[in-house]
Amino acid sequence: MLFDGISHQVPDTDPGETAEWLDSFDAVVDARGRSRARYLLMKLLERARTKQVDFPAAVSTPYVNTIPADAEPWFPGDEYQERRIRAYIRWNAAAMVTRANTRTEGIGGHLSTYASSAALYEVGFNHFFRGKSDGGFGDQIFFQGHASPGIYARAYVEGRLSEAELDNFRHEVGGGGLPSYPHPRLLPDLWEYPTVSMGLGPITAVYQAHVNRYLNLRRLVDTSASRVWCFVGDGEMDEPESIGALGVAGREHLDDLIFVVNCNLQRLDGPVRGNGKIIQELEAVFRGAGWNVIKVIWGSRWDALLAKDVDGVLLDRMNTTVDGEYQKLAVESGAYIREHFFGPDPRLRKMVEDLSDDDLVSLPRGGHDYRKLYAAYKLATEQRGAPTVILAKTIKGWTLGPEIEARNATHQIKKMSKAQLRTLRDRLYLTDDIPEDALEGDPPYIRPAEGSDALEYLKARGRVLAGPVPVRVVRRAPVLRPDAKVFEEFASGSGTQAVSTTMAFARLLRNLVRDPTVGALMAPIVSDEARTFGLEPLIAEAKIYAPDGQNYIPVDADLPLNYAESSSGQVLQEGITEAGALATFTALSTAYATWGQPMVPVYLFYSMFGFQRIGDLAWALGDMRGRGVLAGCTAGRTTLMGEGLQHDDGQSPLLASTNPAALVYDASFAYEMAVIMEAAVTDMLGPNPLDHFWYLTLYNETYPMPALPEGEAGAVVRQGIIDGAYRFAERPQTAGDLAATLCFSGPMWSVAMEAQRVLAERYGVAADAWAVTSWTRLRTDALEVERWNRLHPESEPRIPRITAALGAGRDPVVAITDYMRAVPDQVARFVDRPYLSLGTDGFGRSDARSALRGFFEVDAAHLVVAVLQQLSLDGRVKPSVVADAIAESGIDPEREAPFKVHTEGQRSLLCPDVDRDVEERAALLLSLRQCRRGDEGDLGGFQHEMHGRRFCFDLDDGPCYQRAPLLDPVRQRPGIEAARDRRVGAGVTAHGCTMSASRVISICPRCWNNSSRIWSRTAPFVSL
């Protein structure tokens, strides 16, 4: 597909020939009209496509089937048997949901979605979907999540599920239950791909196909015999994730990818596009993204009508009728359809005069027409060079009877009455299988008898297609272990060289990629931040995966570390799509099941844009039992400096801790990171891998990395790193008996060490320091122990790891983190000592690291004060000592907490109650104006009461900063100088008040909080 073929910029090599073609076209328009001309053009475009002559995307075609009746292939199946099998499945799906809701009122389930898509699935099951019973990998099928009743019902008919299991639909807790939706975590022999959170199925499917191609081009797995099918609802296509990755599939020509969109024109509450046409809209979207589009709109009985439509009136009616109207027609009588669809135009009315009203009602939509669907699937599987979408028009609740079909409430119907079940039975021709008395009580489950033609047919199809789907198989893989050298260098520390954990991680990743045993299985993934994370050497060496190779000379070709792309590249540089990158990670992290090929995906991302941005995909990853390493880089609310509110991550370990499959680690040192990575890689490629993934935060603060202790002590530290904590520094010798414990993680180690020194030297407090690598693991352990103790009251109580590690007593423990206090507070109630935590709750700021740590009160001064204050609680330290420490450190005890949201940020001068208090505003304005009459040089100041606070406005440039005790004079001076230089005009004052040439715009939080001085210089206060 070409996207930018601008013909007038291309030289005409044969103008005579061009003129001939154009003249002929003009002649057709003149002689035969525009419709005919349009038809010929479309034919030409079709031909061009089949001849693979690229042309600019033409994004929509008329509202008819893409495959004309005369181009439909012969249908190879036994239609009678297939219809019968379909009837059994339809019935069982409805019976299962009805029974579940009879057993437990309100347990839920969906009837209408599968009812609308039964034919879409059955054509696939009977003719296309490949299973795994031949030892191959089969197709990867993403089912519409809430169509699961139909998938269970088929598995029952195939003999793969029992009646008891069907009866446990949505009753999982007692064991042997069937989950509501596709959840491999809970039904790991059957489900492969979790899909029910709208949009995740489509994006995961696209990246599954993308990863399949990657594995194939890297010669790790031959994926060529498998296809990826993704079934998705038309309402679901509104999710950004559903459409966001379509371009990837088009760009990479992922022709093994087939989407089937179930266009029943409805979502949960009502029409998807009442005033428009979802099929047309989606056609344009998919075509624009480079996909083949096959529309299956009309069933076979429309073919004869379309054949009569010589003037194009029917086509015109089809094109101009909106979806809302089509839905109305779907619930109305034949007479209504005659009157309102065909009626207005006499030519149309004539077209259907020989059809009865009943005939009109039963003119079906294409998505229920087996032959049309077969034709579409066949073409979809044969087309090369681009992915294909089948847009199939269906009716929601099809066959469930007039009270349910196409009704706005259809999605919510969970139970069918006896009368509705009878209608369904009759409609499905199941009167022989379900006698009248069987309709009393619970509707029965039915399946074809052993030896029946239907069952034999089913089995025969299964043999041809290599068994049933879905089925999840995990094959044993050889145990692999990287060379110990990969990790060794990190144990010895970095000497005097300052490095960050991110830099160390990049180096470790490179070592892993180079490892002869596991190197090929490493799959580094980034979403456009490789440079930030120091991966240039890896890119230069392992190259970026690009299915088309590199068809240009990169601008940095002459540099040793250049932007190298290759079709066999190893690094997945996904561009700026965290969702896409996580979907890639998901496909690789489950390759052990999908392809019997364990991989080690390592996705490095901006930690702020991880769980927070794509938490639901990470949830699905946990459901899918993915294995891999997620590395949240540029982590820490104060460690990432300069980037500010949207970037400063103070919560990702907490968000990650909510995912039961995540093992969350926050390392301070390169050796900790290496020990964690060694555990991760050896587990993933080991004999009994956990279905877990690792989340590791990495920082860009550099410091000399300490060495891992050797010998026995080193082994203890290693175990502590994995378990979550180890003692990093013993208590220093001090004169008295004052003692405390500092717990740190990540870059807060240096703060803890500085505090340890000050506490010992100035206050005689001996504090030991613990490195906590995983608050979450400590908490999980403690919760397990707590539960065990609760349930074993007569046994000797067990002791949680963290409780044992920190012991009991009155010496306080103060934890410090670069995240919210809730991170270390995870273990608070398991510590038998006074416990306090310091953290970075609140919105981040852009500033230097030291300023941020001061602002969030996580610097050494605050840590010292915190320890002293804790010691003062039982009288071992006098409160006055704590107060002196506060004063000496320049800490302003009256400032508002940095996490208090209503004091956040800059305020409009007359904020916060500006609109509430017009009079106050006017009074202030007056004061300002009067004040301005003083002149340049010494404007003096004035005070103003507003909203119960006293505002002191200094209109001279001196006093404000001198009186602001928190400001660091070194940092402040340049600001003042700069502000002086902008005596008139817009600017920001030394501490953040902003003003324009005409007025003071805002007042900084410091002024606001500290009796609210405003330092304004000479800005004239003309208007407010």
Ligand X SMILES: Cc1ncc(C[n+]2csc(CCOP(=O)(O)OP(=O)(O)O)c2C)c(N)n1
Neighbours of 350 (CB within 10 A): 12
Instruction: Map tokens 């015999």 to a residue.
Output: 225
Binding-residue total with Mg ion (CB under 5 A): 5
Least distance between ligand X and beta carbon 387 (Å): 20
- Which positions from 43 through 62 interact with ligand X, judged by CB under 6 A? none
Q: Considering only 41-49, 196-204, 560-568, 830-838, which stretch makes contact with ligand X by CB under 6 A?
A: 196-204
Distance between CA atoms of 995 and 1000, rounded to whole angstroms?
4
The strand pairing partners of 952, in sequence order, are 943, 1013
CB of 334 closer than 8 Å to CB of 357: yes
- Residue closer to Mg ion by CB (options 235, 290) is 235
Q: Where are the alpha helices (DSSP H) in 814-897?
A: 849-855, 860-872, 879-888
Minimum distance of ligand X from residue 147's CB (angstroms): 7
Cβ at position 116, least distance to ligand X in Å: 6
Two structure tokens written together for 279: 């099929």
Residue 608 is given by DSSP the state G
* Choices 261-269, 311-319, 487-495, 813-821 (CB under 6 A): range interacting with ligand X: 261-269
268 binds, among ligand X, Mg ion, none (CB under 5 to 8 A by kind): ligand X
Q: How far is the CB of 121 from Mg ion (least distance, A)?
A: 15
Q: CA-to-CA distance for 713 and 377, rounded, in angstroms?
A: 64
Query: Site mask, ligand X, residues 209-248, x = CB under 6 A?
Result: ------------------------xxxx------------
For residue 658, what are the contacts with CB-CB under 8 A and spacing of at least 6? Answer: none
Nearer to ligand X, 199 or 443 (CB): 199
Residues 129-148 that bind ligand X (CB under 6 A): 144, 146
Instruction: Choose one: 58-66, 226-234, 509-517, 1007-1015; the region binding Mg ion (CB under 5 A).
Output: 226-234
Distance of closest approach, residue 206 Cβ to ligand X, in angstroms:
17
Stretch that binds Mg ion, among 265-273, 536-544, 649-657, 815-823 (CB under 5 A): 265-273
Q: Where does this chain touch ligand X (CB under 6 A) — which range of 191-199, 313-321, 471-479, 705-713?
A: 191-199
Should residue 235 be labelled a site residue for Mg ion when binding is judged by CB under 5 A?
yes
First to last CA, the chain: 57
Site for ligand X in 842-871 (CB under 6 A): none
Q: Count CB atoms within 10 A of the CB of residue 930.
A: 10
**C-alpha distances in Å from residue 391, one per residue of 42, 272, 550, 1014:** 19, 14, 34, 63
Shortest reach from residue 786's CB to Mg ion, in Å: 46
- 7-15, 132-140, 233-241, 938-946 -> range binding Mg ion (CB under 5 A): 233-241
* C-alpha to C-alpha distance for 449 and 306, rounded to whole angstroms: 42
Query: 86: closest CA among 129, 120, 109?
Result: 120
Instruction: Tell the smallest beta-carbon distance from residue 343 to ligand X (Å).
Output: 29
CA pair distance 542, 522, nearest whole angstrom? 10
Q: Could you say which of 262, 420, 634, 639 contacts ligand X (CB under 6 A)?
A: 262
**Cis peptide bond prior to 470, omega within 30° of 0:** yes
Residue whose CB is less far from ligand X, 123 or 641 = 123
Among ligand X, Mg ion, none, the one that 236 touches (CB under a kind-dependent 5 to 8 A) is ligand X
Size (the chain), residues: 1024
If contact means CB under 5 to 8 A according to the sort of partner, which of Mg ion, ligand X, none does residue 196 touch?
Answer: ligand X
Q: Which stretch binds ligand X (CB under 6 A): 33-41, 61-69, 262-270, 543-551?
A: 262-270
Residue 198 touches which of Mg ion, ligand X, none (CB < 5 to 8 A by kind)? ligand X
Beta bridge partners of 944: 951
Coil, strand or helix at 262: strand
Contact assessment for residue 140 and residue 167, using Cβ atoms and an 8 Å cutoff: no
Q: Per-residue contact track with ligand X, 150 to 189, x per CB under 6 A?
A: ----------------------------------------
The secondary element (H helix, E strand) that includes residue 523 is strand 522-526
Do residues 662 and 652 lie in contact, with contact meaning Cβ atoms separated by under 8 Å? no
3-state secondary structure 323-366: HHHHHHHHHCCHHHHHHHHHCCCHHHHHHCCCCCHHHHHCCCEH
CA distance 310 to 33: 13
With binding defined as CB under 6 A, does residue 268 bind ligand X?
yes
Q: Would you state the structure tokens that stand for residue 78, as one six-digit string? A: 């036994």
Return the HEC string of 22-35.
Answer: HHHHHHHHHHHCHH
Of 394 and 756, which has the nearer Cβ to ligand X? 394
Question: How many residues lie near ligand X (CB under 6 A)?
Answer: 19
Site for ligand X in 89-128 (CB under 6 A): 113, 116
Q: Which residue has the tokens 């699935």?
A: 121
Residue 146, contacted partner among ligand X, Mg ion, none, CB below 5-8 A by kind: ligand X
Which residue, 147 or 458, has its beta carbon nearer to ligand X?
Answer: 147
Among 139, 234, 309, 841, interactor with Mg ion by CB under 5 A:
234
Stretch that binds Mg ion, among 229-237, 322-330, 554-562, 816-824 (CB under 5 A): 229-237
Pairing status of strand 1000-1003 against strand 994-995: antiparallel
Decide whether 278 or 778 has the Cβ nearer to Mg ion. Answer: 278
Q: Which is nearer to Mg ion, 264 or 774 (CB)?
A: 264
Q: Helices 79-103 and 370-382 sit at what angle, rounded to 10 degrees?
A: 100
CB nearer to Mg ion: pick between 264 and 327: 264
The reply to whether 264 sits near Mg ion by the rule CB under 5 A is yes
370-429 residues in contact with ligand X (CB under 6 A) are: 396, 411
Burial bucket for residue 948 (CB in 10 Å: 0-12, 13-18, 19+): exposed
Which partner in Mg ion, ligand X, none is near 113 (CB below 5 to 8 A by kind)? ligand X
Min dist CB 62 to Mg ion, Å, is 22
Q: Cβ closer to Mg ion: 323 or 954?
A: 323
Instruction: Provide, rounded to whole angstroms, the least separation between the CB of residue 534 and ligand X.
Output: 36
Residue 142 or 563 with smaller CB distance to ligand X:
142
Which helix (H) or strand (E) covers residue 147, if one does? none
Phi and psi for 813 in degrees, rounded to 5?
-115, 125
Q: Which of 124, 138, 202, 233 binds Mg ion (CB under 5 A)?
A: 233
Give the Cα separation of 869 and 855 in Å (integer).
Answer: 19
Q: Indicate the residue type of 180.
A: S
Residue 433 in contact with Mg ion, rule: CB under 5 A: no
683-686 CB contacts, 8 Å cutoff, 24+ apart? 683/627, 684/598, 684/600, 684/627, 684/628, 685/477, 685/479, 685/480, 685/481, 685/518, 685/521, 685/598, 685/600, 686/479, 686/481
The CB-of-412 to ligand X minimum distance in angstroms stands at: 10
In the complex, least distance from residue 242 CB atom to Mg ion, rounded to whole angstroms: 12
Using CB under 6 A, which residues numbered 743 to 802 contact ligand X?
A: none
Residue 238 beta carbon to Mg ion: minimum distance, rounded to whole angstroms: 10
With CB under 5 to 8 Å by kind, the binding choice for 197 among Mg ion, ligand X, none is ligand X
Residue among 100 and 816 whose Cβ is closer to ligand X: 100
Binding site for Mg ion (CB under 5 A): 233-235, 264, 266
Binding site for ligand X (CB under 6 A): 113, 116, 144, 146, 196-198, 233-236, 262, 264, 266-268, 272, 396, 411
